């Protein structure tokens, strides 16, 4: 295997490119100590915000806290949900990690916006990381979202203002909801459930686009539609890339025998897996439809090519012999007996029309017309 | 991975679309408490109907009951089959759930018409959800169907009037049938067996259509047939999407060690799995045939293209040189010696005919004619 | 997922079709009690025939028996092979089932000609069902074949006169053959072994056809060969559909820990699996070759298209400019100075020949000639 | 599933074929007792040769023996390697089998040249069968090769003169080699190792051919290269068909807990598996490259088609309007005012040249030139 | 299966080739004793260099040592990292192997530059072999890299000057780093982590190239881009070939229960696996994009073909009938009444323009313009 031959040929590619990140720089950035905390995303909020919700069967409070109040968050007898908005200030994340004894690799995963969806168990807490998608105003917003679940506490990390959890917050406010009587594991489930639901909603949007394209392809085949199909294909592939490890992570969550997951929560987790499977299967269906659409597009192109060539052939085949005949009697030979006949011209027209009609009949018979 | 680039480009797609469900609305609808009961289908019957069949080895009764009579349904010494027709009245479903102690997630699955086929065990009952297909009057009717099996009781839920179970009901009426001597598990098997049989019947219809298309493709290649092939492909894919999780669910049913499944029922369940596997394999065969049909279609298109171009080429190649020669002797040069020869015109024709014939011979030799 | 949209569109397909089995009828036929005995094939023999072979290490007898003699078939100290030819008389099958205590589902499988190859164990007997293929007189005959193996007895069921077991019968007649010293399990193996061998023989026939087609594609590309390739493809796919579950069944037979299978028979069963695997792999190889043949066909079509267009282009490109030039000097302008030159005509020919030759040189250089 | 329809259609195929083996004959040949010894290959050596190497840490002898000396082969305290060259004399093989107590199925496998690579354990010996490939004089020689390994003895069977083991024999001659201090299992490993190495060498030859073809496709696209690519594809597929079961057999050998395999040999077996995996992966890489080459070929064909049509279009589009204009002024209407103008002819040329140039500009702009 | 037919046909291929390694030579080279030490790469450094780093929580030293100092390397209480640069001097490698009791197969793997990434455990040490990629100056450098980890010692082998570990060396120099407090297993992890990071960096470069090509395909379709796409495809496939066994090796490392791997290192190994999975998935994404790009290229080619033919057809269809009409009135029949009409010429032009315009209208309506 003369493998290096190919890699060294790549040099040519590198030389031609100009926009590319300098590879050594990129390598440098990655040349980090494992477990070192670097936020790999961009800053989306002006200031890191710590939102605390505390609830028990009987109480519910909601407040913004400062970094100095972290010590009071975890209390016996009530569940605390600390929501961290904004990941760009490493020291705050570090302090939270120290306060709640979170493993350094968990913190690294939280800060890595390219982190694949993952379920990761540690001694007294577990991490669930995923993408969170939502739509606002005809725009899809995607961000990295992580949940750390411990005894009586759940800490969530998100990059941007706004999330999909208002429904959960409202249910938490209602005194008699099931969610108020359960532990942190159920709250974590409720958050994941909402995230999966939003995944589904967004996938359905793409599904609608795909189905519309399918209908459009019945009428019209423009180059625009090809670009659009390819665009949707790319994005559906991207969503699929999120969903597959997400499903793996939820399977791992289902299999976990962590003490933090109550037995009565298990059916809900199984249900969550069912939903995720449904989402994953929907994506596969849309992918298939997209590929069918591309095939339909190509078939239309070939049909169009056939149509074009049929028109060309019919015209050529009819007129080429006729033109030849006109050419014959345009010759200047001195002795062409037909030229002098009185009815030569009308006879000529008659012959020509007969030839043309028999051509048309031939094409009709071959179903070209 | 600059992932968001793609998602934000999607904006353009969203802006162009008009028929699409407003994403936020859709999200809202989905932003529900897990386990909350919402019927995701449409109302198909005017009123929810509760059909009760009660039988033992010696007795058989059939009646319509009201919601207030639910308490009397489950009795020792006889098997009750409660068939609920219509899922749109949540309170009734809820009351049934409470009466028979059905898990809230089971009820949610029953009401969800997008529920994938699933087998789900709980303490003293299990759920089997599936699509139920039947044909009436050249129309395929599909609806969500769920069976909850408990000790001495089986509760079935369907969306629409009419079902495929009249054969089972008749067998139940016969005093000495095997079905009368067995428990609820055997009745559940009998219902599933009928459902699978109808799946098969409908798949065979598609199989016939596919095979007819195969035959039609031997003669004729119209654009209509392409549309029809694609239509059948879509629907066969849809059936496949039903069958695959259904097979998984039946495998899970076979593996279950629930006390509710008697040992003597197990061979029947294994047989049921065999049937389902047969159905699943049939679908795969038809899918392959559909793809072969599409390929045949494309090959025919290419052959047609070749035919068209052959005709064009033969005509052009024969007449273009002839027309050129006619053009030569149509020139007005003062000194073209041939023009004055007496036999020039007949010689011209002779040359032309020889050229044309040798062209034809050439095409014959190349097997173009 | 607006799934019903597609299924309801199917109505159009149903309306167009005329030859199709009425779906409700078909459903009716299938709406049968599980375990009810229906023969799903056609009658192939005028009368059901019961052939009995009884042998021990020292004895061998062969006879036709009647249904009333069934009670005497199973005897200690000798092995009985009861071969039932013809499955259309349900009462006989039923009586056999009762006599030898065969499970009702086993009987149902025996009568179902669409039964997939299967190995099915019950308390004191097991079933092995498969397709049996043989060739007679350039015709392939396929029928459903089932073996029920019990203590000292083996019952085989076949639809048609004639089978592939004459070799086994001859070996049974020989006093010192291994087969005479073994139990029913070895006889069952010997029968399966012959069936697999015949599968292989028939697959090799298709393999020869496929390889011939490959050779033919080197010379000639007619539409006939496309039809033939597709025909063979269909049939090889059908054989593959038989082989895959057959291999699964033989794997199950190998894994079985039934008391009916002696330890010294196990290496032979393993060998049987090896053969089946070889058959299955041969089919895959032929499938690949078929697909390669189809690809070769398409490549030839494209090459032919290129050839056609090359001819068209060469002729057009050479003669179109020449015809134009002849047209120029056919114009009737009063003042065209060239017309009066004495050597204009020969010069004109010279120019034309030079143009044509340089065109030919150009095509030569581009390797179009 | 109207399956028989297809098989009976096959009749037409059978009738058309003439070269084909008579199916019934072929079936007859296969209608053999399992375990009966038939050599399925051809005779390659004039006489069966028995080569005996005997060695211990201190001794080494090499000799040709006769069939009568078989009884002296297996001795305590030294390892015997009996190499049987030529498989066509069944009695000799049979006698060897009896002498060393080899299972009849093992002997059948040894004689079957279509035997898939297999590892098969029996009480006191195991079989390893494989293809053995080697190159001599620009020719690839392939033969069936089997190793039977027992306590202190290894018996190898090959069809043809010459093998790949001279290196092993030389190492055996050296007094202090590792191979002299080990048991029969290590010798078996050493032989397999050489066979795998030769597989690799031959695969690399095909790899070189494939890579050369890739380079050739950059320049030239002839029909010859298509034939060559398809030829290599067939042969690489054949090699792959050998390698895949070979890898399975080596995995089985690794998993075996036979007493005949010493613990210190295990790392070498694991290494052997690594090598085989490398060979298998190399084949996959070459297969991918072959498919890429085929795709490149097709792309070139399409590009060529485009080129041909571009030339045709450019010439036609330029000259067709010009010819039309010349035709206009070749008309014989009595009153065409332009005909009498003095500068009509040069103006005509001017107009024509302007039209032609603007056409060329248009094509330039569309990047057709 | 007439297999040899194909292999013997290969002869023709061998004869045609000239550049190919003589197969027998190649076989000879491979015909080596297993476990014999041969360096299969080229010499990249003038002299083998032994770099020793020794550290404990409190000490750190870095030095070049000679082969005679090997005995002092492994010491209790500190971790030694011996980095061997250059693999071409077998005796040195052999001496290292003897000094540290490394298994002969491990040494063979270290010297084999075609060794697949592998994790291999032995009694008191384990081997991890992989490719190491890095970029310098727009060039990708690839080399074989092996780590042998023992108690308190880690020995690394690399072929070339320069590596990717300067970051690790810097961290080792810092007195309080985590890496100083851990054992050899953590150092091994740190080295692998850096290697994976560089894999990712290089894959991202290809990802950028692929995405650029995607953008370029929106505008321009030249043959150059096809060559570039195929080049990148080849190299991405090569990287994938490295990554897949690398992931398998890291999975094996994770599963290992070696005493040499501390419990607190396990989460880091799991993290390493996550990274590798991310790298592997990225490659799959780029592969998909490359294939999409190739498809886009082909679609563009077909669209271009359609465009070319549309232009040809439009011109031909418009002018062919017009030329025919001009030909009619260029005929020399004596009695063509139209020729004498006064307004015949302008009327002729009128008719021609009407015909041309209606053609254009027709094309407009068919959306060809």
Strand-pair partners of B149: B126, B154
In the predicted model, what is the mean pLDDT of residues E141-164?
91
In this complex, do C105 and B271 lie within 8 Å of one another by their Cβ atoms?
yes
In this complex, do E1 and C330 lie within 8 Å of one another by their Cβ atoms?
no
Q: What is the per-residue pLDDT for C342?
A: 87
Contacts of A285 in chain C (CB under 8 A): 1
Collapse the DSSP code of E73 into the 3-class scheme (helix H, G, I; strand E, B; otherwise coil) and give the result: coil
Query: Predicted ipTM?
Result: 0.75
Asked if C262 and C183 count as a contact pair (C-beta separation under 8 A), the reply is yes
Residue A241 clears pLDDT 70, i.e. is over it: yes
Q: What is the pLDDT of residues B27-59, one digit of tens each?
A: 445 555 666 777 878 888 888 999 999 999 889
In the predicted model, what is the mean pLDDT of residues D195-210?
88
Chains that touch B (3 or more CB pairs under 8 A): A, C, D, E
Residue C62 clears pLDDT 90, i.e. is over it: yes
Q: What is the per-residue pLDDT for B348?
A: 93
Nearest to E15 among D138, D218, D228 (CB): D138
Structural domains present in chain B: 2-299 (3.30.460.20), 307-365 (1.20.58.340)
Cite the DSSP H helix spans in C184-222. Answer: 184-219
Number of alpha carbons in the 13 Å side-chain half-sphere of residue E60: 13
Q: Distance from C8 to chain B by nearest Cα, in Å? A: 6
Q: What is the pLDDT of residues A168-215, one digit of tens each?
A: 998 899 887 888 989 999 999 999 999 998 898 888 888 888 888 888
Lowest mean pLDDT among A52-66, C45-59, C133-147: C133-147
Lowest mean pLDDT among B165-179, B316-330, E219-233: E219-233
DSSP string, C79-135: EEEEEEE----HHHHHHHHHHTT--HHHHHHHH-TTPPPEEEE-SSEEEEEEEEEEE
pTM given for the model: 0.80
Q: What is the pLDDT of residues B130-159, one digit of tens each?
A: 999 888 766 788 889 999 999 899 999 999
- B107's enclosing H/E stretch is helix B104-111
Long-range contacts made by residues A332-335, C-beta under 8 angstroms, separation at least 24?
A332/B329, A332/B330, A332/B331, A332/B332, A332/B336, A332/B339, A332/E332, A333/B329, A333/B338, A333/B339, A333/B344, A333/B345, A333/B348, A334/B339, A334/B340, A334/B344, A335/B342, A335/B343, A335/B344, A335/B345
Q: What percent of chain D has pLDDT over 90?
A: 42
Mean pLDDT of chain D: 85
> Which chain E residue has its CA at the smallest distance from D198's CA?
E27
Q: What is the Cα–Cα distance from B179 to C34, expressed in whole angstroms?
A: 10
What DSSP designation does A352 have?
H
Nearest to D330 among B282, B285, B330 (CB): B330
Contacts of A330 in chain D (CB under 8 A): 330
Question: What is the length of chain E?
Answer: 369
In this complex, do C285 and E1 lie within 8 Å of one another by their Cβ atoms?
yes
> Which chain B residue has its CA at the smallest distance from C318's CA?
B321
> Considering only CA atoms, which of D238, B278, B204 is closest in space to residue C244?
B278
Residue E9 clears pLDDT 80, i.e. is over it: no
Lowest mean pLDDT among B17-21, B60-64, C335-339, E344-348: B17-21
Considering only residues C6 and B199, tell me which one the structure prediction assigns the higher pLDDT. Answer: B199
Q: ∠D126-D128-D129 over CA atoms, to 5°?
A: 140
pLDDT band of C2, cuts 50, 70, 90: very low
Taking one residue from C and the other from D, the number of pairs with CB-CB distance under 8 angstroms is: 194
Q: What is the per-residue pLDDT for B325?
A: 92
Q: What percent of chain E has pLDDT over 90?
A: 42
pLDDT band of E272, cuts 50, 70, 90: very high
Q: Which residues contact B193 (CB under 8 A, 6 or more apart)?
A: B268, B272, B275, C34
Taking one residue from D and the other from E, the number of pairs with CB-CB distance under 8 angstroms is: 192
In the predicted model, what is the mean pLDDT of residues A223-242?
85
Residue A111 clears pLDDT 60, i.e. is over it: yes
Contacts of A1 in chain D (CB under 8 A): 207, 282, 285
Residue with tokens 């057709």: D368
- Strand E79-85 vs strand E153-158: parallel, antiparallel, or unpaired? parallel
Strand-pair partners of C49: C85
Q: What is the per-residue pLDDT for E17?
A: 46
In this complex, do C24 and B332 lie within 8 Å of one another by their Cβ atoms?
no
What DSSP designation does D279 have?
H
Q: Distance from B272 to chain A by nearest Cα, in Å? A: 23
Asked if C334 and C292 count as a contact pair (C-beta separation under 8 A), the reply is no
Nearest to A315 among E166, E320, E333 (CB): E320
Q: What is the per-residue pLDDT for B3?
A: 41
Number of alpha carbons in the 13 Å side-chain half-sphere of residue D314: 18
In this complex, do C267 and D103 lie within 8 Å of one another by their Cβ atoms?
yes
Q: What is the Cα–Cα distance from C71 to B187, expressed in whole angstroms?
A: 35
Chains that touch E (3 or more CB pairs under 8 A): A, B, C, D
Q: Distance from A101 to chain B by nearest Cα, in Å? A: 31
Give just the sign of the alpha carbon dihedral E83, E88, E92, E96: positive
In this complex, do C1 and A330 lie within 8 Å of one another by their Cβ atoms?
no
For testing the chain B interface, which of A171, A174, A205, A303 should be mutated: the one with the most B CBs within 10 Å?
A: A205
Cβ neighbours, 10 Å, residue B96: 22
> Which chain C residue has its CA at the smallest distance from A332's CA?
C330
Q: What is the Cα–Cα distance from E233 to B29, expressed in whole angstroms?
A: 44
Q: Distance from C177 to chain E by nearest Cα, in Å? A: 31
Collapse the DSSP code of D184 into the 3-class scheme (helix H, G, I; strand E, B; otherwise coil) and give the result: helix
In this complex, do A17 and E134 lie within 8 Å of one another by their Cβ atoms?
no
- Strand C49-55 vs strand B153-158: parallel, antiparallel, or unpaired? unpaired
> Which chain E residue has its CA at the smallest distance from C204's CA?
E1
Calculate the dihedral angle through the C-alpha atoms of E254, E259, E262, E267, rounding to the nearest 10 degrees: 10
State the Rg of chain B over Cα.
Answer: 35
Considering only residues C40 and D329, tell me which one the structure prediction assigns the higher pLDDT. Answer: D329
What DSSP designation does E71 have?
G
DSSP E strand boundaries for chain D:
49-55, 60-65, 79-85, 118-121, 125-136, 139-150, 153-158
Residue B162 clears pLDDT 60, i.e. is over it: yes
- D101's enclosing H/E stretch is none
Cite the DSSP H helix spans in chain E. Answer: 4-16, 23-30, 90-99, 104-111, 166-173, 178-181, 184-219, 223-255, 266-328, 337-340, 344-365
Q: What is the per-residue pLDDT for C79?
A: 93
Q: ∠C23-C26-C31 over CA atoms, to 5°?
A: 120
Residue E368 clears pLDDT 90, i.e. is over it: no
Q: What is the Cα–Cα distance from E275 to B323, expressed in whole angstroms?
A: 73
In this complex, do B282 and D1 lie within 8 Å of one another by their Cβ atoms?
yes
Strand-pair partners of E144: E131
> Considering only CA atoms, which of E120, E293, E96, E97 is closest in space to residue E214?
E293
Task: Starting at the earlier edge strand, list the strands of the sheet with E153-158.
Answer: E60-65, E49-55, E79-85, E153-158, E139-150, E125-136, E118-121
Burial bucket for residue E82 (CB in 10 Å: 0-12, 13-18, 19+): buried
Q: What is the per-residue pLDDT for B22?
A: 47
Q: Distance from C285 to chain D by nearest Cα, in Å? A: 9
Task: Starting at the earlier edge strand, list the strands of the sheet with D125-136.
Answer: D60-65, D49-55, D79-85, D153-158, D139-150, D125-136, D118-121
- Strand E60-65 vs strand D153-158: parallel, antiparallel, or unpaired? unpaired
Q: What is the pLDDT of residues C309-338, one digit of tens each?
A: 889 999 999 999 999 999 999 999 988 988
Contacts of A192 in chain B (CB under 8 A): none
Q: What is the per-residue pLDDT for B201?
A: 85
Q: Which residues of C touch E (CB under 8 A)?
A: 207, 282, 285, 330
Residue with tokens 């989402």: A279
Angle formed by the axes of helices A223-255 and A266-328, nearest 10°: 160
Chains that touch D (3 or more CB pairs under 8 A): A, B, C, E
> Which chain D residue has its CA at the smallest distance from E3's CA?
D238
Q: What is the per-residue pLDDT for E65?
A: 93
> Which chain B residue has its CA at the smallest distance from C227's CA?
B218
Q: What is the per-residue pLDDT for C6?
A: 42
Cβ neighbours, 10 Å, residue D351: 12
Q: What is the Cα–Cα distance from D199 to D80, expressed in whole angstroms?
A: 26
What DSSP designation does B55 have?
E
Q: ∠A265-A266-A268 over CA atoms, to 5°?
A: 70
Angle formed by the axes of helices A223-255 and E266-328, nearest 10°: 160
Contacts of C279 in chain E (CB under 8 A): none
Strand-pair partners of B134: B141
In the predicted model, what is the mean pLDDT of residues C13-35?
50
In this complex, do B1 and E207 lie within 8 Å of one another by their Cβ atoms?
yes
Angle formed by the axes of helices D223-255 and E4-16, nearest 10°: 120
Contacts of C19 in chain B (CB under 8 A): 208, 212
What DSSP designation does C148 have?
E
> Which chain A residue has its CA at the smallest distance from D332's CA?
A330
Asked if D175 and D69 count as a contact pair (C-beta separation under 8 A), the reply is no
Q: What is the per-residue pLDDT for B23?
A: 46
Contacts of A330 in chain B (CB under 8 A): 326, 330
Burial bucket for residue E26 (CB in 10 Å: 0-12, 13-18, 19+): buried
Q: What is the Cα–Cα distance from A252 to A273, expressed in whole angstroms?
A: 10
């Amino acid at each position: 295997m003369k493998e290096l031959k190919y890699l060294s040929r790549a040099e040519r590619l590198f030389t031609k490119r100009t926009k590319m990140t300098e590879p050594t720089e990129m390598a440098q950035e990655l040349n980090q100590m494992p477990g070192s905390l670097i936020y790999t995303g961009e800053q989306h909020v002006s200031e890191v915000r710590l939102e605390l919700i505390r609830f028990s069967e009987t109480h519910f409070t909601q407040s913004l806290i400062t970094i100095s109040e972290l010590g009071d968050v975890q209390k016996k007898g009530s569940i605390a949900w600390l929501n961290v908005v904004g990941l760009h200030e490493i020291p705050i994340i570090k302090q939270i990690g120290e306060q709640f004894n979170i493993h350094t690799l968990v913190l690294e995963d939280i800060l890595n916006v390219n982190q694949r969806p993952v379920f990761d168990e540690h001694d007294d807490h577990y991490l669930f990381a995923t993408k969170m998608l939502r739509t606002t105003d005809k725009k899809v917003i995607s961000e990295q979202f992580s949940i750390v679940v411990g005894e009586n506490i759940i800490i969530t990390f998100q990059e941007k203002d706004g999330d999909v959890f208002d429904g959960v917050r409202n249910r938490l406010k209602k005194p008699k909801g099931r969610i108020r009587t359960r532990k942190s594991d159920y709250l974590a489930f409720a958050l994941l459930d909402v995230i999966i639901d939003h995944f589904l909603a967004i996938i359905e949007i793409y599904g609608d686009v795909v189905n519309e394209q399918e209908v459009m392809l019945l009428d019209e085949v423009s180059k625009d539609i090809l670009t659009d199909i390819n665009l949707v294909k790319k994005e559906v592939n991207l969503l699929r890339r999120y969903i597959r490890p997400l499903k793996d992570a939820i399977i791992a969550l289902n299999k976990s025998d962590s003490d933090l997951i109550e037995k009565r929560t298990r059916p809900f987790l199984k249900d969550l897996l069912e939903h995720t499977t449904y989402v994953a299967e929907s994506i596969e269906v849309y992918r298939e439809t997209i590929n069918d659409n591309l095939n339909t597009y190509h078939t239309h192109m070939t049909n169009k090519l056939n149509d074009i060539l049929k028109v060309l052939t019919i015209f050529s085949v009819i007129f080429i012999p006729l033109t030849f005949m006109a050419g014959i009697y345009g010759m200047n030979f001195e002795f062409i007996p037909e030229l002098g006949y009185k009815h030569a011209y009308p006879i000529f027209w008659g012959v020509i029309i007969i030839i043309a009609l028999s051509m048309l009949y031939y094409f009709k018979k071959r179903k070209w017309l």
